[in-house]
């Protein structure tokens, strides 16, 4: 996959998306449904109804980029199915996106405790 900078955010669209949509259609969905700025450089993830196809839209340095994958077997599992029913868009971590793309069972995957430096503490 693409190496992502730490400041990149990942937004997952809960609503199934027509995979015939390309750049302009997905930009329109990003603005209207996700209520996000498609020029932000963040990743916007769209899946079809069967969850066997995924498109990721983002703004590169010179234009829109679109990553598309079709699974030959299986489906993508989404995090927090119950949570997703409550909202049209869900922000996921870069790690969660990687797990989704790699086909890891998200219900059994858990992160072990790690030290994280607080940004506010380091800026003083």
Instruction: Report the relative pairing of strands 10-13 and 43-47 from DSSP bridges.
Output: parallel
DSSP letter (8 states) at residue 104: -
Specify if 1 maps to a domain. Answer: no
How many independent structural domains does the chain possess? 1
78: nearest Cα among 91, 60, 67, 61:
91
Specify if 3 maps to a domain. Answer: no
DSSP letter (8 states) at residue 8: -
Note the pTM of the prediction, 2 decimals. 0.82
Specify if 71 maps to a domain. Answer: yes
At residue 118 the predicted structure's pLDDT band, cuts being 50, 70 and 90, is confident
Specify if 5 maps to a domain. Answer: no
Specify if 29 maps to a domain. Answer: yes
Q: Mind listing the pLDDT tens digit for each residue in 6-62?
A: 889 999 998 999 999 999 999 999 999 999 999 999 999 999 999 999 999 999 989
Instruction: Count the residues in the chain.
Output: 124
Structural domain boundaries, residue 76: 10-122
Specify if 93 maps to a domain. Answer: yes
Q: Position of tokens 């020029």?
A: 39
Q: Which two tokens stand for residue 117?
A: 């430096």
Indicate the range of 48-57, 68-77, 96-105 predicted with least confidence.
96-105
């Amino acid at each position: 996959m693409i190496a992502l900078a730490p400041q990149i955010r990942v937004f997952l669209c809960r609503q199934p998306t027509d995979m015939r949509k390309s750049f302009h259609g997905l930009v329109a969905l990003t603005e209207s449904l996700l209520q996000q700025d498609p020029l932000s450089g963040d990743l916007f993830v769209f899946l079809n109804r069967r969850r066997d196809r995924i498109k990721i839209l983002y703004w590169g340095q010179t234009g829109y980029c679109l990553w598309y994958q079709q699974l030959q077997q299986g489906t993508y599992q989404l995090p927090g199915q119950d949570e997703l029913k409550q909202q049209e868009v869900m922000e996921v971590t870069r790690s969660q996106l990687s797990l989704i793309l790699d086909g890891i069972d998200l219900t059994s995957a858990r992160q072990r405790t790690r030290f994280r430096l607080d940004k506010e503490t380091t800026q003083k």
